[in-house]
């Protein structure tokens, strides 16, 4: 495989928690390659290690064993400072609980990572307003998170994740706290990101979120048990879905 | 299909091509594969059954004479009966359920692997239906139908998860024994 074509790559990835008898292998010998532009969903029951895997890929946690590469660069051996810089520049995170700064407006939340990455105030502001418009929140830019619905907050978080034009966006149960309507809005946004060619790894329980992906891996007890390509498969046409043909 | 075509004629007598256009509008992308021939075959059957009558109408100068279909009293009764009916298509889960049991009993295939293959297939369908649903404008009738397709696939996928859990447990017990 061509290493440089992969946005994210992991080999022999292991993460153990705890000591001695209570030692648990949260991630157990995982090999993974996410090519640029691919949208990958990871599904599995709670405790299967999928969130830990996401944290390892994004450099939020360090593996016990194995390697992680982002944008052709090995990241598990980086210093804390270099790792933080890599995260700011190359990775966008979306969390289940949004993790917005409550004291800052929607626009300021989106601007923050851009300012931390060294962009000018003006650049950051322009980028934030562009992204808030893209997620349909241009008219809510100056609202505080507490004045927004769950779905709107998650859309702010999506805009924030995109502000530094990351190579890859990592999303951990992005619809876990959303109602049906807000989930549909989120699906629309993920579908749009997929069409735009954004590399994306989403950990999810929700079949509908998983179905927006090009590829789906299933995890059990820290290991991959299935790897399915959802995109580009021959289908019998939509009519087949309601029994009109096929 | 017969009942749906018949019920559309309750609004007013129609040409076949007009019925086809109305069906296509209601079904959106789901009806793309439907051709006009299917409508004419259905109308011919309904006519033979005495549920519709066909009259020749004067054509426009640039178009030939066309057939206009209308409900007969028997057709009207059938439409009323269809509207009152509460029948519902039954999902055929028993067949898959028996497939797993038979495969395991004869050791022909691993039920867990059969479930995984089925799951991949349903996820591909879900992806297709969902992309079509998201592409529909808000308030579209076809979008509502697609939402139904999506929700059913989602329910089937959840059942497959339950199948996977149950058959994995059987595996573990065999290994443990």
How is chain B split into domains, by residue range? Answer: 2-84, 93-176
pTM above threshold 0.90: no
Structural domains present in chain A: 3-230 (3.40.50.300)
For every residue of A105-169, DSSP letters joined together read -HHHHHHHHHHHTT--HHHHHHHHHHHHHHTT-GGGTT--GGGS-HHHHHHHHHHHHHTT--SEE
Per-residue pLDDT of A125-165, as tens digits, reads: 999 999 999 999 999 999 999 999 999 999 999 999 999 99
User: Does the domain made of B2-84 have the CATH classification 2.60.40.1250?
Assistant: no
* ipTM entry: 0.86
**pLDDT over 70 (residue A245):** no
pLDDT at site B139: 83
Work out the minimum CA distance from B4 to partner chain A, whole angstroms. Answer: 13
Q: Which of A230, A241, A244 is opposite residue B34, by nearest beta carbon?
A: A244
Work out the minimum CA distance from B44 to partner chain A, whole angstroms. Answer: 19
Per-residue pLDDT of A88-114, as tens digits, reads: 999 999 999 999 999 999 999 999 999
Burial of B134 (C-beta count, 10 Å sphere; 0-12/13-18/19+): middle
Contact criterion met (CB < 8 Å) for A238 and B130: no
């990351």: which residue's tokens? A166
For every residue of B10-21, DSSP letters joined together read TTS-B-HHHHHH
Contact criterion met (CB < 8 Å) for B130 and A216: no
| Chain A residues closer than 8 Å to B149 by CB | 241-242
Q: Which of B119, B126, B132 is opposite residue A238, by nearest beta carbon?
A: B132
Interchain CB contact of A181 with B (< 8 Å): no
Contact criterion met (CB < 8 Å) for B150 and A212: no
**pLDDT over 80 (residue A234):** no
């Amino acid at each position: 495989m061509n290493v440089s074509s992969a946005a994210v790559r992991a080999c022999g990835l292991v993460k153990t928690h705890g000591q001695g008898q209570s030692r648990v292998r949260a991630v157990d010998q995982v090999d993974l390659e996410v090519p640029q532009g691919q949208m990958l969903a990871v599904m599995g029951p709670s405790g299967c290690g999928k969130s830990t895997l996401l944290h390892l890929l994004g450099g939020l946690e360090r593996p016990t064993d194995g390697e992680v590469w982002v944008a052709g660069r090995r990241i598990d051996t980086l210093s804390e400072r270099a790792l933080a810089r890599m995260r700011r520049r190359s990775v966008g995170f979306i969390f289940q609980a949004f993790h917005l700064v409550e004291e800052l407006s929607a626009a300021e939340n989106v601007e923050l990572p851009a300012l931390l990455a060294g962009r000018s105030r003006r650049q950051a502001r322009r980028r934030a307003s562009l992204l808030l418009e893209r997620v349909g929140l241009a008219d809510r830019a100056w609202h505080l998170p507490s004045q927004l619905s769950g779905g709107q907050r998650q859309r702010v978080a999506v805009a924030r994740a995109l502000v530094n034009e990351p190579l890859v966006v990592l999303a951990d149960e992005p619809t876990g706290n959303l109602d049906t309507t807000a989930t549909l809005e989120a699906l629309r946004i993920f579908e749009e990101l997929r069409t735009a060619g954004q590399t994306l790894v989403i950990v999810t329980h929700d079949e509908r979120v998983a179905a927006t992906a090009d590829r789906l891996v299933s995890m059990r007890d820290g290991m991959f048990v299935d790897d399915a390509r959802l995109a580009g498969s021959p289908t019998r046409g939509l009519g087949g879905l309601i029994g009109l043909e096929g | 299909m017969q009942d749906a075509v018949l019920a559309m004629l309750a609004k007013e007598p129609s040409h076949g091509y007009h019925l086809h256009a109305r069906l296509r509008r209601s079904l959106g992308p789901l009806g793309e594969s439907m051709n006009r021939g299917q409508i004419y075959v259905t109308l011919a059957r309904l006519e033979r059954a005495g549920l519709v009558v066909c009259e020749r109408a004067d054509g426009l100068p640039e178009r030939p004479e066309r057939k206009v279909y209308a409900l007969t009293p028997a057709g009207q009764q059938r439409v009323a009966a269809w509207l009152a009916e509460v029948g519902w298509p039954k999902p055929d889960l028993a067949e898959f359920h028996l497939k797993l049991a038979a495969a395991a009993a004869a050791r022909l295939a691993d039920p867990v692997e059969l479930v995984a293959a089925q799951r991949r297939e349903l996820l591909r369908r879900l992806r297709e239906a969902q992309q079509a649903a998201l592409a529909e404008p808000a308030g579209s009738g076809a979008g509502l139908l697609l939402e139904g397709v999506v929700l059913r696939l989602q329910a089937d996928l959840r059942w497959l998860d339950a199948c996977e859990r149950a058959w994995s447990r059987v595996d573990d017990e065999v290994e443990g024994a």
